Every structure is written in structure tokens, then in C-alpha cells.
Amino acid sequence: MHQFLVSTVAFIVLVGVMIVVHEFGHFLVAKLCGVRIERFSVGFPPRLFGVQIGETDYCISAIPVGGYVKMTGENLPGENLSIEGAGAEAVEAQKADPGALTSHPRWQRMLIGVAGPAANFALALALMLIYFGFINEVPSVQVKSTTVEWVTPDSAAAAAGFQPGDVIRSFDGVANPSWEQVAEHMVLNVNQYVAVTVERAGKTVSFSLHVPSSAKDDDFDVSNAGLLPQYLPGPIQVSAVQAGTPAAEAGLRAGDKIVSVNGHPFHFVDSFAAYLQTTKNQPVHLEVERDGKILPMVATPEEIDSRWMLGFSEILPPYHHQPLRLGAAWTKSVAFCDDNSMLVFEVLERLFTHRFAVSQLMGPVGIAQAAGEAAETQGWYPKFYLAGVISVNLGILNLLPFPILDGGMILLLAIEAGLRHDISLNVKERVYQAAFVVLMVFFVFIIFNDVSKLPVFTHVKP
């Protein structure tokens, strides 16, 4: 019950904010274009209370998932989330009203349509700027020595001769450097060789590292050179296991400790994830500690969001805040939005090429579960990350040229601009009605798919 309540509240807050910001984008540009706004509602009807300011009713409504903007002249479901149409006579009358949406030029209506998704992009960027500029959690180093946990194959570190377990005793003349000092001296020696001395199995080994050109980037860290640091002394501890994933199928449970992977001990999940990118879909042999006993398990990684994963979340290590300067925070925030903006298109491409099953799609229930997990996960990053990803993809999704979505409305307006006359209202209504049916069927399927993944159902599957 606790998890259900947390997931429900987190979903309402997360999705509510995303949709209200989206609708505020429409509202703001419509106001600037001189369109009459009859109502701006946080939540969906019935209306609870509000205040009338000028021509607009600003109100709070009973159903708390999102909100909407009602503009004079909206007649079709793609324009106001209503399936109520309007007669031809009413539409013609609205065209004569200077405050009606339909009396404004098509380019203004297209701008109003774009404004909603643009507001979601702006929100994602603002969220990540706040995170990187004022929070930016980084692991607190508990391992005193500068120990290498994993070396990425075919990286600069691998070419130099680094091996997992090496302890850096000297880097560019600095004795017993911290990882921060290693990163700083890489930045000072872009595209140059630096002298390195490591302790390996009780012996001293010296070699040179060629610092990659990426060290000049604001968001550079040592992992870009192929070095994955060991931050923690203990094994990776499992916080939660997602149903239907390779981790769940292998028998991994919350509370387990992953002692080794293919015989190699990992202490930090980022290093483990980097290792999985090299093994890809090859089975990995795990040694798992549970209740003081070592259990062998075999799991085959699955490609999720372009990364090979097992499907579990870890108990996060201790963190401290290390806010970035504005320039670096801006660079990382833009990169975050850029990396996640193509996710919708990648999923669609994989669906059409049969490399991604429809059953893998996440709907409202899945989002609620993810929101609940993020809300209860230690640290701020999971919360900002999930909100940013959903906001970016909500913006992208709404720009798709499908009727009912903003992109569909923009497409119809562009077609009308090319034809130099309005498309018949009857044709529009039929298109929107068909799209509405398709969307509802898809929505029901996604919800059913989400519900079928819940633990109460997965536990009873044969």
C-alpha cells in the first residue's frame, strides 16, 4: 500500500507539472497573439474554485492529473482535448470574432501549437540547469587510494596499459594523486603524453598515457579516457529489481550483493554498466551474496534505451554536492536534452524494424512505478533525471504529425496553407474521430501491458 500511495502521488505531481507547463506554453503564446483565453485550469473538470481576471477564468479543477487551456474558437479534439465538434455556422461566426483562435493567421496558430512542446523542452533544460548548477551530486570517495576498478577496452587508458586493480602512485609528477587531480592534469595535457606509475600486484609499473582530445570539453571526466574509478570498498548492493528483466529472470532480489561478475569484483554500478557494454548480449556469471551465502546466477543483458542492462537499481553510495559553473552546467544540460530528445524516434524506429517489442513500452502505470522509485531513491539525480526525460519526450511526442497531437494540428494547418483554403470541417472531424479511436485503443493496450507487468501478476505466471 505504501508503494502504491507513493507512486500515485509522485505520478500526479510529475505528470501534472509536465502537462500544466505544456499548457502554459500554449497559453502564453496565445495571449501574445491576442487570442481570447476563456479558461486556464490546473486539473480537469469539474471546476472547484478559481478567480476571474479579465476575460480568463483561472481555476483549480477536481481531477489533478494535468490541466488545460480553453481558447475561444477551439472546435476540434486536437485543439482543446474535447471530442465535441462545432457546426459550420458556429465556426464561420467565430472567424469573425477577432479574439477567436480561428480568426488568427495560420502561422500564429502554428506557433501556438509549437509553444506547448517548446515549454516542455524549456522545463527539462531548466530542471537540469538547476541540478547541475546548484546540486550536482558526486560520489564521496571512501576508498582512500586512487584505484582503477575497470578499464574500457579500446580506450586511451587501455592503450596505455592500465589494468583493473591498478593503484595510481604517480600521475604527471603528482605523487599519490586523487581522482580529481588525475582529471585536472588530464585537462592540462590535452593531446599530450603524461607519465604514469601504478602499483600492480605489489609491483611498480610505469608507462605513458595519451590524453584524448575530449579532455578539453567542459563535462570531461576520467571515464572518458577509459578509467572507471573504484569509489567504494564493498560490492554493489541491489535496491530494486524490475519485473520481467534479465536480473529478475536470473533470480536477483532487493538486498542482494553482487560480489563478482565473470570473476571480476565490481564495487560501483557505473563500472559494472561499462563492463556490460563490452559483453553486450553474452551471458554473465554472477556471484551473489544473500543472507551470508554465495549464490551463482547467470543473466543475459538486454538492450534497453541503447544500453546493455540487467534491469536492477542499486543502493546509491554516499554523495556530496559539487555544483558546476554556469558554462559547464549549461553544456551538460543541453547535452542531456539532446541525448534524450531522440528517444521517441529511436523507439519508433525499433518498433518498425522489429527490434523493440510493443510490450516493452511504458504507459501511465509504468511511469507511476518509475516516479515512485525515483521519489524513494536516495539523492536528487533520479528525480531530476526522470522529470527531465519525461518532459523532453512529452514535447517530442506532441510534435509527431498525428491528429489530436499538436504536431497533427500543425500538419493540417500547413496543408491548408499549401492549399490556400480550409479543409472541410467534416473531413477534419472524421480524421480526428478516427485518430481518437486509434489513440484510445493504443492507450488501453499500454495500460493493460503495464498492469500485466505488476508483481502481483508476474508472480502468478506459469
Q: Report pLDDT digits (tens) over 214-269.
A: 887 766 889 989 999 988 888 899 988 888 889 999 999 999 999 999 999 998 88
Answer yes or no: is pLDDT of 83 > 50.
no
Angle between helices 381-398 and 364-376 (to 10 degrees): 160
- Is the separation of the CB atoms in 246 and 310 below 8 Å? yes
Cβ neighbours, 10 Å, residue 421: 8
* Ranges 68-72, 123-127, 160-164, 376-380: which has the least confidence: 376-380
Domain 236-317 annotated CATH 2.30.42.10: yes
Q: Where are the domains of the chain?
A: 2-134+393-458, 148-229, 236-317
Answer yes or no: is pLDDT of 314 > 80.
yes
202: region left, alpha or beta (phi > 0 left; psi from -120 to 50 alpha): left
**Confidence band of 6 (pLDDT split at 50, 70, 90):** confident
List, for residues 381-433, the tens digit of each pLDDT value: 889 998 998 899 889 888 888 888 888 889 988 998 899 888 887 888 888 88
Residue predicted with more confidence, 396 or 89: 396
- Is the separation of the CB atoms in 303 and 314 below 8 Å? no
What share of the chain has pLDDT > 70, as a percent? Answer: 86
Mean pLDDT, residues 314-331 taken together: 86
Q: What is the pLDDT of residue 350?
A: 60
Mean pLDDT, residues 56-68 taken together: 90
Q: Could you tell me the strand order of the sheet in which 312-314 lies?
A: 293-299, 284-290, 257-261, 236-241, 312-314
Picking from 122, 127, 123, 111, the residue whose alpha carbon sits closest to that of residue 26 is 111
Domains 148-229 and 236-317 share a fold: yes
List, in order, residues 6 or more apart from 431 with CB less than 8 Å away.
403, 412
Mean pLDDT, residues 277-286 taken together: 91
Residue predicted with more confidence, 81 or 113: 113
What homologous superfamily does CATH list for 148-229? PDZ domain (2.30.42.10)
C-alpha cell at 415: 496543408
The most distant pair of C-alpha atoms in the chain lies apart, rounded to whole Å, by 89
- Is the separation of the CB atoms in 194 and 161 below 8 Å? no
Answer yes or no: is pLDDT of 369 > 80.
no
Answer yes or no: is pLDDT of 91 > 70.
no
